[in-house]
């Protein structure tokens, strides 16, 4: 029978068998790959600190008037660095003990770190604590940076870069957890509405309705002008053997203060790091344990309850009390954390253009006239200083581009804003953001003054004065919208 018409059953079996063998030979690598167990994802973390303590003799900034020279170091200042790696994404978070640093200084730190490690600059978040007991690493006018860095600016940029390099060198398999605890006892709105009939004026002779730090004046104080955020949110890192590796916390408290005269100090931020290390029995580990308290949205928050008579404290007494209370609250919550062997990391960065505030024609003319009369005493609060601020704002560019960042660490969201940000903005990001919990690190990637909400601008007060608040009135609204868009991309 011609083979072209029919095949026997044996020949059909032989053809089928041969085809299976050939197909199996072709597909065996794919089948083997599918059958093999997937590689286990590994989360790694590395931490380090760099000492950024300035030398004595430079001026201590953070208050009105000529900065007095630093004469004593009560406690060292540090850049506290955390590097996280999920196997495909690596990010660096830095918290520096400084009032704040100009963007150009932090850009230089990022450039040096990236050049040495390959970590992209848009994967680095660098914030400052806003201690009022350090020397300046900023420009006098953030809109007109100088061509050359000061000696301290060069030093601090290099030391931050070194800290990131060391943290990357210290990367090791790690576990991560996060927690939230309420600590409302140490945060108070420092802006108060005054009772009708109370006269308040800004430096330009215009009426205000809110006053910063009004003191204990029960006959004139009406109520706080805004809310507080009582939460301490924190990330915790463990080694594979469950020993502590690092802890990054966030609390919306401006600073505490109460140092000795002309002292350099990291304020309660540094004391918190010391106390939580003690509570976790994390001393003398190799590599060393690193803790940091970052500043949340505290532009209108401090540690003083003006509804009560003032307390008299010895230098550093209140600072230590607040730090210990915060550390103990975090430590209690630490006992109940859920630890993760791996979490996803993601980060977005965007530059947002904002308008720079300008004086009105009347404010500008008044300021020029005042500065031309050096013997005339001030009629209104800080009148002469803010006349100078008005001139600076007038001579500044009309817009500025600022860096915003949104970070995802597992279920946690972190917003980075380069302003002294009002609590209302932080609370809105927490409520509307898709990641829970979410917190904000202020004075991150630069510093451009205060960021009141439009509603707070209407009330006036120090934080809204031209020169204290340097960008457009709608800036907080634009920043919040941009960050929420960025968070939606991460989710």
Judgement on whether residues 429 and 324 belong to the same structural domain of the protein: yes
pLDDT at 113: 98
CA dihedral angle for residue 130, residue 135, residue 140, residue 144, rounded to 10 degrees: -80
Per-residue pLDDT of the chain (491 residues), as tens digits, is: 333 333 443 433 333 343 433 334 333 333 333 333 345 799 999 999 999 999 999 999 887 778 999 999 999 999 999 999 999 999 999 999 999 999 999 999 999 999 999 999 999 999 999 999 999 999 999 999 999 999 999 999 999 999 999 999 999 999 999 999 999 999 999 999 999 999 999 999 999 999 999 999 999 999 999 999 999 999 999 999 999 999 999 999 999 999 999 999 999 999 999 999 999 999 999 999 999 999 999 999 999 999 999 989 999 999 999 999 999 999 999 999 999 999 999 999 999 999 999 999 999 999 999 999 989 999 999 999 999 999 999 999 999 999 999 999 999 999 999 999 999 999 999 999 999 999 999 999 999 999 999 999 999 999 999 999 999 999 999 999 999 999 999 97
Whether the CB-CB separation of 346 and 435 falls below 8 Å is answered with: no
My answer on whether 167 and 277 are in the same domain is: yes
Residue 216 in any domain: the answer is no
The answer to whether residue 17 is domain-embedded is no
Looking at the structure, do residues 268 and 287 belong to the same domain, yes or no? yes
Q: Which residue has the tokens 């089928």?
A: 16
Residues 103 and 227 in one domain: yes
Sequence-distant contacts of 144-150: CB under 8 A, at least 24 apart:
144/395, 144/396, 144/397, 145/102, 145/103, 145/104, 149/104, 149/105, 149/108
Does residue 323 share a domain with residue 249? yes
> Could you tell me if residue 176 is inside a domain?
yes
pLDDT 10s digits, 408-463: 999 999 999 999 999 999 999 999 999 999 999 999 999 999 999 999 999 999 99
- 16 falls within a domain: no
Look at the chain and report how many structural domains it folds into.
Answer: 2
Query: Could you tell me if 376 and 248 lie in one domain?
Result: no
Same domain, 280 and 365: no
Looking at the fold, whether 226 and 265 belong to one and the same domain comes out as yes
**Could you tell me if residue 205 is inside a domain?**
no
CB 438 within 8 A of CB 413: yes
Helix axes 103-117, 151-169, angle to 10 degrees: 40
pLDDT, tens digit, 9 for 90 and up, residues 29-57: 333 333 333 457 999 999 999 999 999 99
- Structural domain boundaries, residue 368: 357-395
In a domain, 9, yes or no: no
- Choosing from 368, 395, 422, the residue where a domain stops is 395
Looking at the structure, do residues 380 and 336 belong to the same domain, yes or no?
no
Residue 54 domain flag: yes
User: Do 271 and 367 sit in the same domain of this protein?
Assistant: no
> What's the gap between Cα 320 and its chain centre?
22
């Amino acid at each position: 029978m011609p083979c072209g018409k029919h095949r026997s059953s044996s020949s059909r079996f032989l053809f089928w068998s041969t085809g299976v063998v050939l197909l199996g030979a072709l597909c065996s690598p794919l089948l083997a790959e599918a059958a093999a167990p997937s590689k286990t994802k590994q989360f790694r973390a590395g931490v380090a600190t760099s000492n950024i303590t300035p030398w004595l003799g430079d001026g201590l900034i953070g208050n009105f008037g000529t900065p007095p020279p630093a004469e004593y170091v009560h406690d060292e200042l540090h850049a506290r660095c955390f590097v996280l790696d999920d196997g495909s994404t690596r990010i660096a978070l830095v918290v520096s003990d400084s009032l704040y640093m100009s963007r150009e200084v932090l850009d230089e730190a990022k450039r040096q770190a990236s050049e040495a490690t390959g970590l992209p600059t848009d994967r680095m978040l660098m914030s400052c604590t806003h201690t009022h007991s350090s020397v300046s690493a900023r420009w006098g006018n953030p809109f007109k940076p100088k061509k050359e860095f000061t000696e301290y600016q060069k030093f601090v940029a290099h030391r931050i870069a070194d800290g990131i390099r060391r943290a990357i060198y210290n990367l090791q398999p790690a576990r991560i957890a996060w927690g939230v605890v309420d600590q409302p006892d140490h945060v108070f709105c420092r802006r108060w509405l005054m009772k009708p009939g109370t006269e308040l004026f800004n430096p330009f002779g215009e009426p205000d309705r809110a006053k910063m730090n009004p003191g204990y004046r029960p006959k004139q104080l009406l109520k706080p002008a805004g809310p507080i955020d009582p939460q301490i949110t924190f990330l915790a890192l463990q080694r594979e053997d469950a020993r502590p590796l690092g802890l990054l916390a966030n609390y919306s408290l401006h600073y505490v203060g109460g140092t000795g005269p002309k002292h350099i100090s990291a304020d309660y931020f540094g004391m918190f790091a010391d106390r939580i290390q003690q509570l976790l029995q994390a001393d003398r580990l190799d590599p060393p344990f690193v803790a940091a308290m970052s500043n949340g949205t505290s532009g209108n928050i401090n540690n003083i309850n003006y509804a009560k008579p003032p307390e008299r404290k010895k230098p550093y007494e209140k600072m230590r009390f607040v730090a210990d209370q915060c550390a103990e609250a975090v430590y209690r919550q630490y006992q109940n954390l859920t630890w993760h062997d791996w979490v996803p990391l993601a980060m977005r960065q965007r530059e947002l253009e904002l308008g720079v505030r300008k004086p009105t024609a009347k404010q500008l003319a008044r300021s020029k006239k005042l500065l031309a009369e050096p013997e005339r005493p001030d009629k209104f609060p800080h009148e002469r200083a803010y006349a100078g601020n008005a001139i600076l704002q007038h001579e500044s560019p009309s817009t500025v581009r600022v860096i915003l960042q949104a970070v995802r660490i597992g279920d946690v969201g972190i917003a980075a804003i380069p302003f002294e940000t009002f609590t209302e903005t932080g609370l809105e990001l927490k409520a509307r953001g898709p990641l829970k919990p979410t917190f904000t690190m202020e004075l991150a990637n630069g510093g451009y003054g205060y960021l009141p909400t439009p509603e707070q601008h209407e009330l006036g007060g120090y934080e809204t004065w031209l020169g204290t608040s340097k960008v457009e009135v709608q800036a907080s609204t634009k920043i919040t919208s941009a960050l929420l868009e960025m968070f939606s991309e991460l989710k």
